[in-house]
Amino acid sequence: MLVGVCDFPGSYAFPPAGYGGIERWLWAVAEGARAAGADVHLLGPLWRDNLAPEWTRKPVRLEDLEPGSLAAQELQATGYDLLVVGHEHPTLPTWRRTRDLLDCDVATFQHHPGFQHAADAFDGTRTRLYCYSPEMVERYAVHRPTSELAVHRGLGEDEPPSQPGRDLVWLGRIDEDKAPHIAVRAAQTLGRRIRIVGPVFSDAYVVRHARIFAADHVEWVGELGGRDKSAAFGEASVFVYTYARDYVEAGAAVFGESLRAGTPVAGLSWREGTCAQAALCDRSGAVAVVDPAVDDETAARALSDAILEAEELDHAEVQAVGLRRFDPRRHFEALAELPC
């Protein structure tokens, strides 16, 4: 099988060094395809030029190809079986024109909870959409999506054998949507230290919660990548997951990252059918489902109970669950509709 994994115009490289969502997913798919024995071409100019030499890079952007051009003819002659792309591509007319020329299967994962697709973007057979959680499947039901847990990886993020950590950790982009202030308050309720890892996306949000973020039990780490990012998960006793009441988590890289490192997850959810519930089981984490009408303090207390529950889990078993459920090869085989 010949697989093309396509980048897209953005501010992050492929694979990204630290933070990143769909970019990390595309890299995980490329790694999974290689592990499954497929030939892989990295299509697009944003793939890093310091990747191992066995990776085939073709710096061509499919939506820029002119029909009948030499570049288009060469790509058509290559004979791709499957293109794996960002969720925007199947609705982009210029990209679809090239895909029709290549006449191959297309698979993508929904990483944005509000993106509107063209009515005929997916047929459920040769052009396929995958969604993480029941609420995401419901949102895109008209496109006949398949339920599938996404796998995300960065460069050099192999996980060492798990061992019980000491402090709590929260990781993600720091803004209103991700609501880390609730995780900080839950840690304070338990008298525990918590590390906050990730880039600040909203200074106004940090200022608004400055008092709790400046508390003595909080360690600001900044953005990490590679082995340092893997270590941030692996050295924690529990990964604490939060998000805002009106935010819909679409892709949720952090669950797989934490579980593969052997760190159980304590999650906060405001409703049923979310990514947290799709990703976790009673052997890998605990989810506090809270009425969105309650205040942050009440939510933090419920989250603290989930932290205590998650701390009782065995880290080696958590890692075994994570490596099985969030395996790049298994994920690629699902996208390619190959027998797993």
Per-domain residue ranges of the chain: 2-155, 167-323
CA atoms of 269 and 289, how far apart (whole Å): 5
CA atoms of 2 and 82, how far apart (whole Å): 7
Q: Tell me if 145 sits within 8 A of 130, measured CB to CB.
A: yes
What is residue 243's predicted lDDT score, i.e. its pLDDT?
Answer: 97
CATH topology of domain 2-155: Rossmann fold (3.40.50)
Give the chain's residues under pLDDT 70: 18-19, 340
What is residue 157's predicted lDDT score, i.e. its pLDDT?
Answer: 79
Q: What is the radius of gyration, based on Cα positions, of the chain?
A: 20
CB atoms within 10 A of CB 5: 25
Question: Helix (H) and strand (E) counts for the chain?
Answer: 13, 13
CA atoms of 162 and 159, how far apart (whole Å): 8
Query: CATH topology of 2-155 equal to that of 167-323?
Result: yes
What is residue 340's predicted lDDT score, i.e. its pLDDT?
Answer: 56
β-strand partners of 264: none
What is residue 6's predicted lDDT score, i.e. its pLDDT?
Answer: 96
Omega prior to 15 cis, within 30 of 0: yes
Residue 39's identity, in one-letter code, is D
CA atoms of 46 and 11, how far apart (whole Å): 9
Q: Tell me if 17 sits within 8 A of 154, measured CB to CB.
A: yes
| Residue in 194, 159, 149, 152 with CA at minimum distance from that of residue 318 | 159
What is residue 225's predicted lDDT score, i.e. its pLDDT?
Answer: 83
CA atoms of 105 and 100, how far apart (whole Å): 10
CA atoms of 58 and 182, how far apart (whole Å): 44
Residue 314's identity, in one-letter code, is D
Q: Order of strands across the sheet with 265-269? A: 218-222, 194-197, 167-171, 236-241, 265-269, 285-289
- The torsion angles phi and psi of 2, rounded to 5 degrees, stand at -105, 120
| Residue in 223, 288, 292 with CA at minimum distance from that of residue 16 | 223
User: Counting beta carbons within 10 angstroms of the beta carbon of residue 291, is it exposed (0 to 12), middle (13 to 18) or buried (19 or more)?
Assistant: exposed
Helix (H, G, I), strand (E, B) or coil at 98: helix
Contacts of 147 by beta carbon, 8 Å cutoff, 6+ apart: 130, 131, 132, 133, 134, 137, 278
CATH topology of domain 167-323: Rossmann fold (3.40.50)
Residue 231's identity, in one-letter code, is A
Q: Which two tokens stand for residue 298?
A: 């009440």
